[in-house]
Amino acid sequence: MPEVHEDIKEVLISADEIQDKISDLAKQISEEYRDKDLLLVGVLKGAFVFMADLARQVELPIEFDFMAVSSYGTATKTSGVVRILKDLDYEITNRHVLLVEDIIDSGLTISYLLRYLQARGPASLEICSLFWKKGEQAVPLEVKFPGFEIPPVFVVGYGLDYAEKYRNLPYIGVVKDEAYRAEGT
């Protein structure tokens, strides 16, 4: 068992649990999109770790694209105002698009992206999010491929950051209060 990072007070979901869930999700996705051509759209930066692991378990030919967005807000809460930092490289008209997100909290970021992409006329548009703070959504949201439901706490690891740190942890966990304080000074 590798050591837990010194700034982490509690591991919420282990690396093994995450990998098991990804196998499940990849199976569902391979079924759903059999005989269709699938475009995975990752939401940067957070989703890059999940997308890489997920895609390698999906047994279909896949193409990839990425969007980068930044949500205005505090360090740990988004305001719902989303800025597109990088748009898609390719057209999605008549294509089957699966949006790959790391985590859904208020749901405002993903709702914005859904509206933005829907306007381009994809053949289908669905969401796969590894983590989901269910019950926190400001607007109803249909997540076709949900991973873990987690409590409404701020987590880091597996692509998720606090002030750009901890994205490379293979598990997700909660940061110690001291680590937040050190950052704020």
Alpha helices in the chain (DSSP H): 15-32, 48-55, 108-118, 177-184
**What mask, x for binding Mg ion by CB under 5 A, covers residues 12 to 41?**
------------------------------
CA nearest neighbour of 176 among 20, 3, 42, 11: 11
Neighbouring C-beta atoms of residue 140, cutoff 10 Å: 7
Asked if residue 157 binds Mg ion (CB under 5 A), the reply is no
Report how far residue 20's alpha carbon sits from residue 97's, in angstroms, rounded to the nearest whole number.
24
Segment near Mg ion (CB under 5 A); pick from 23-31, 102-110, 133-141, 147-155:
102-110
Q: Which of residues 94-153 bind ligand IMP (CB under 6 A)?
A: 101-110
Asked if residue 46 binds Mg ion (CB under 5 A), the reply is yes
Using a 10 angstrom Cβ sphere, with 0-12 exposed, 13-18 middle and 19 or more buried, the burial of residue 60 is: middle
Report how far residue 26's alpha carbon sits from residue 121's, in angstroms, rounded to the nearest whole number.
25
Report the DSSP beta bridge partners of residue 103. Answer: 131
What is the three-class DSSP state of 78? strand
Asked if residue 159 binds Mg ion (CB under 5 A), the reply is no
Nearest approach, Cβ of residue 23 and ligand IMP (Å): 23
Pull the structure tokens for residue 64. Answer: 């990839």
* Residue nearest to Mg ion according to CB distances in the complex: 46
Q: Which of 24, 89, 105, 161 is catalytic?
A: 105
Question: Considering only residues 155, 169, 175, 179, which one is a binding residue for ligand IMP as defined by CB under 6 A?
Answer: 155
Given Mg ion, ligand IMP, none, residue 155, with its beta carbon under 5 to 8 Å by kind, binds: ligand IMP
Nearer to ligand IMP, 116 or 154 (CB): 154
- Which residues are known to be catalytic? 105
Binding site for ligand IMP (CB under 6 A): 46, 71, 78, 101-110, 154-156, 160
